[in-house]
Structure formats: C-alpha cells, structure tokens
Amino acid sequence: MKLRRDGVTWREIDGEMVILDLKTSKYLTTNRAGTTLVRLLAEDRTTGDLTDALVTEFGISTDQAAGDVATFVDSLEQRGLLQDAAR
C-alpha cells in the first residue's frame, strides 16, 4: 500500500504532517508517529514495514505499534488516501 499521489499533497511542519486531499478539499494532520508513517507510505509498504518502523523509531512494543499502524491505515483508507489498501 502507499499514499495516493493523484490529487494529494502533503507538507511537514514542525515534525507534524499535513495531508491535503485536493479532490475533497479535506485535510488530515498527524503527530510524529503519523509523520513517520506518511514518509514511508510515499513508497509501497506493508503493515509489517510500518510496524517495524514505529518499534525502531519510538521504542514501543510490537503490539502497540501494530495497533497504531492499523488505526492510522484505517483512517487513511476511510479518507480514500491510499492507492492500494491491500495489507
């Protein structure tokens, strides 16, 4: 899965990410963990890749990281921001 490029733009501001869907004029802001995930989702990634990144970056448990990734990916899917929602 990866972040949709068509009609989507994003900017990092003070360690947080702002994602704008140009088609709907809606935006999503992220915290530091979300910023890490958005950077990775610029390329094709699996949920395992994203989970590993959070464990490494923030020193949290795999279970906590997997839950955070699932919540974040679900949010992106609901907003139609992913190209491929296959996990």
CA distance 54 to 37: 8
pLDDT at 15: 86
pLDDT in tens, 13-52: 998 999 999 999 999 999 999 999 999 999 999 999 999 9
Does residue 79 have a pLDDT over 60?
yes
pLDDT in tens, 52-64: 999 999 999 999 9
CA distance 54 to 31: 12
Contact by Cβ (8 Å): 60, 44: no
Contact by Cβ (8 Å): 73, 82: yes
* Residues in the chain, total: 87
